[in-house]
């Protein structure tokens, strides 16, 4: 027995409306992605009819989305990020478009720097709080072949497992190696004893009050340890600034920027800028995202 896709879709997209702010097009789009995912994994269903097994799978996906607020990216299992399909698995943070934006921007600076300064030996890059590994892997994909040695750290064992899985699955698309290791960056002033040419980080930066106001899609599924930070969400940024300044671990081989950190908004700009200046980092600039929000702080 087979189920007519058109009839089923009408029913399921109506159910999806409640988690799509009653936006019919969004509900239809979410359903389309789920259906595409089901069809990609089975040869017995057709474009017009689903097998009973696939029908059940699709209904379960919609139920997970509507009743359990499971993010679509966890249902589909991947999220596009800088031209890579990053595997997503709860509770590791799903890569965000805001992050993708500044990583693309950073890539233009770094590529230009490598070329104009004719840097021959690979640049050393450190990604702090790597999560799924998306930033480190995006740099590994887009920087010129063998031009970078990339290290990435995280405190969460499940995040590191996922990052390593991503590195294995995406290996054929990477032009540079990434090494992942475990580190609690807040527990040490010695983030590194070797110099790096570039340090990047998307650390936790949500305040407790902001966390309380987040939707169940986030709160029920993503690790709070990936989101919340003390000190008005700035504990990691301030710690990183101090650790870099104290140890002087940024080398002068690359042109600006040599440090980029994602931030939670304009309220964090001034304290973080002060901390960067106090610790010897110059030319601090704020990068906005496409929504016009202060999204990243870049410094030299
Ligand atoms: C906002 S997520 C960013 C993940 C990824 N870089 C991205 O952009 O999607 C922050 C990450 O910081 C990690 N983290 C939290 N506390 C940490 C600590 N003390 N030391 C190192 N990593 C930490 C979390 O496990 C989480 O993966």
Q: Report the residue among 129, 218, 260, 262 best suited for mutation to probe ligand 1: largest number of ligand atoms under 8 A from its CB.
A: 129
Per DSSP, helices labelled H in the chain are 5-16, 24-40, 52-68, 72-76, 97-116, 134-142, 157-169, 208-212, 216-219, 230-233, 235-247, 269-278
Distance 298 CA to ligand 1 centre (A): 18
CA 156 to chain centroid, in Å, comes to 15
For the cut 90, the answer to whether the pLDDT of residue 83 exceeds it is yes
The pLDDT, as a whole number, for residue 251 is: 87
Mean pLDDT of 279-288: 94
Distance 133 CA to ligand 1 centre (A): 10
Q: Counting atoms of ligand 1 from 1, which one is nearest the CA of 185?
A: 20
Domain ranges of the chain: 2-68, 79-299
* Residue owning the nearest CA to atom 20 of ligand 1: 184
Q: Place 75 in a pLDDT band, splitting at 50, 70 and 90.
A: very high
Q: Does residue 40 or residue 237 have the better pLDDT? A: 237
Q: Place 228 in a pLDDT band, splitting at 50, 70 and 90.
A: very high
For the cut 90, the answer to whether the pLDDT of residue 72 exceeds it is yes
* Residue owning the nearest CA to atom 17 of ligand 1: 155
In this prediction, what percent of the chain has a pLDDT beyond 90? 86
The pLDDT, as a whole number, for residue 295 is: 98
The pLDDT, as a whole number, for residue 56 is: 96
- pLDDT tens per residue across span 196-223: 999 999 999 999 999 999 999 999 999 9
For the cut 80, the answer to whether the pLDDT of residue 42 exceeds it is no
* Residue owning the nearest CA to atom 2 of ligand 1: 226
Mean pLDDT of 139-162: 97
The reply to whether ligand 1 has any atom less than 6 angstroms from the CB of 131 is yes
The pLDDT, as a whole number, for residue 177 is: 96
For the cut 80, the answer to whether the pLDDT of residue 248 exceeds it is no
In angstroms and rounded to an integer, the radius of gyration of the C-alpha atoms of the chain is: 21
The pLDDT, as a whole number, for residue 253 is: 87
Q: Counting atoms of ligand 1 from 1, which one is nearest the CA of 225?
A: 15
Q: Counting atoms of ligand 1 from 1, which one is nearest the CA of 92?
A: 27
In this prediction, what percent of the chain has a pLDDT beyond 70? 100
Mean pLDDT of 144-168: 97
Q: Counting atoms of ligand 1 from 1, which one is nearest the CA of 227?
A: 1
Q: Report the residue among 154, 223, 231 best suited for mutation to probe ligand 1: largest number of ligand atoms under 8 A from its CB.
A: 154
H or E element, residue 57 = helix 52-68
Distance 126 CA to ligand 1 centre (A): 13
Q: Would you tell me which CATH number, out of the four given (3.30.1200.10, 3.30.70.2520, 3.40.50.150, 1.20.1250.20), belongs to the domain 79-299?
A: 3.40.50.150
Mean pLDDT of 124-135: 98
Beta strands per DSSP E along 49-94: 49-51, 78-81, 84-87
Q: Does residue 12 or residue 193 have the better pLDDT? A: 12
The pLDDT, as a whole number, for residue 200 is: 98
Specify the DSSP class assigned to residue 233: H
Q: Counting atoms of ligand 1 from 1, which one is nearest the CA of 159?
A: 27
Distance 226 CA to ligand 1 centre (A): 5
Distance 204 CA to ligand 1 centre (A): 6
Distance 200 CA to ligand 1 centre (A): 12
Mean pLDDT of 122-129: 96
Residue 150 CB-density burial (10 A; 0-12 exposed, 13-18 middle, 19+ buried):
buried
The pLDDT, as a whole number, for residue 266 is: 96
The reply to whether ligand 1 has any atom less than 6 angstroms from the CB of 202 is yes
The pLDDT, as a whole number, for residue 259 is: 96
Distance 182 CA to ligand 1 centre (A): 11
The pLDDT, as a whole number, for residue 13 is: 95
Q: Counting atoms of ligand 1 from 1, which one is nearest the CA of 184?
A: 20
H or E element, residue 190 = none
Tell me the pLDDT of the chain averaged across its residues. Answer: 95
Q: Place 247 in a pLDDT band, splitting at 50, 70 and 90.
A: confident
Distance 235 CA to ligand 1 centre (A): 12
């Amino acid at each position: 027995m087979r189920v007519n896709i058109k009839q089923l879709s009408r029913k399921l997209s109506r159910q999806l409306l409640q988690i799509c702010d009653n936006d019919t097009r969004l509900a239809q789009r979410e359903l389309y992605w789920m259906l595409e995912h089901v069809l990609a994994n089975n040869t017995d269903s057709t474009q017009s009819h689903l097998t009973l097994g696939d029908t059940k799978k699709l209904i379960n996906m919609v139920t997970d989305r509507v009743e359990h607020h499971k993010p679509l990216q966890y249902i589909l299992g991947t999220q596009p990020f800088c031209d890579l399909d990053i595997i997503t698995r709860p509770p590791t943070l799903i890569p965000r478009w805001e992050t993708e934006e500044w990583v693309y921007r950073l890539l233009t600076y770094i590529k230009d720097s490598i070329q104009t300064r004719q840097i021959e030996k690979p640049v050393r890059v450190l990604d702090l709080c790597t999560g799924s590994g998306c930033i480190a892997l995006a740099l590994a994909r887009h920087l010129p072949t063998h031009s970078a040695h990339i290290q990435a750290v995280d405190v969460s064992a499940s995040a590191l497992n996922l990052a390593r899985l991503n590195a294995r699955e995406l290996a054929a698309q990477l032009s540079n190696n990434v090494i992942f290791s475990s580190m609690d960056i807040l527990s040490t002033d010695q983030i590194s004893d070797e110099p790096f040419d570039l340090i990047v980080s998307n650390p936790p930066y949500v305040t407790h009050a902001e966390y309380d106001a987040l939707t169940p899609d986030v709160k029920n599924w993503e690790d709070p340890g990936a989101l919340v930070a003390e000190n008005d969400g700035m504990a990691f940024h301030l710690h990183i600034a101090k650790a870099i300044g104290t140890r002087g671990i940024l080398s002068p081989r690359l042109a600006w920027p040599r440090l980029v950190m994602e931030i939670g908004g304009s309220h964090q700009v001034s304290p973080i800028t002060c901390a960067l200046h106090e610790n010897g980092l110059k030319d601090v600039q704020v990068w906005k995202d496409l929504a016009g929000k202060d999204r990243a702080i870049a410094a030299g």
